[in-house]
Amino acid sequence: MIAVFDNFLDESLLNKIKNDPTFFANPGEYNWWAGWFNQANNVPFTLKHKLIESIWCSKNPIREVYDISGFEYWTGIQTANPELGHKDILANHYDKDEAWFKKTGEISTPLIGTVFYPGIEEFTGGELAIYTDGIDEKPEIIKAKPNRLIIFNAGEYVHEVLRVKSGTRHAIAINLWKNVPYGVESGEMKAER
């Protein structure tokens, strides 16, 4: 499954993300949140949690219900300007519990994945390529554009970020997990309760 939704967020939450200098402060840092449904007050407590709740509860565009333990999430930055300290691509991969794979060699994957582009700045390139028919076949190419949400089987399909040609691409990835990933126990994912 690949589902694409444009103009996903309302301007209020989108502007909060765009104006928060900490939202993309630690790209590539993996985080774990057990979700609003596992909190006593059922209220998201960070802006990233509010985004996750908007995608998977209040504005869930696919109306699919998943039995999950929580959410793994991280931000990503790819740029055409190497002086910023980021690469211009993200090589092909599929999402998995990296800590468990390192420990056992076994693969454990999320139920579903999400990529959201808030549109922090303009850029060209940086498309998401998803290999739905295998790595040797032509991928589905999805343009990265402001306020676009992409939901797909990130643990099943190999995917990559194509070269950013100008500017800087900002995205947040969110995976839904049936069981808490080993990365939480090992400390490779920062757990937020």
Contact assessment for residue 125 and residue 164, using Cβ atoms and an 8 Å cutoff: yes
Q: Quick one: DSSP state of residue 38?
A: G
The pLDDT assigned to 42 comes to 59
Q: In the CATH hierarchy, which fold is given to the domain comprising 2-192?
A: Jelly Rolls (2.60.120)
Tell me the pLDDT tens digit for each residue of 5-50.
999 999 999 999 999 999 999 998 999 999 988 766 556 689 999 9
Domain boundaries, the chain: 2-192
Would you call 132 exposed, middle or buried from its count of C-beta atoms within 10 A (0-12, 13-18, 19+)? middle
Going by pLDDT thresholds of 50, 70 and 90, the confidence category of residue 91 is confident
Contact assessment for residue 183 and residue 110, using Cβ atoms and an 8 Å cutoff: no
Give the distance from CA 85 to its chain's centroid: 20
Q: How far apart are CA 164 and CA 169, in angstroms?
A: 7
pTM tops 0.85: yes
Contact assessment for residue 116 and residue 55, using Cβ atoms and an 8 Å cutoff: yes
Tell me the pLDDT tens digit for each residue of 165-182.
999 999 999 999 999 999
Q: Quick one: DSSP state of residue 163?
A: P
The pLDDT assigned to 128 comes to 96
Structure token pair of residue 14? 């989108």
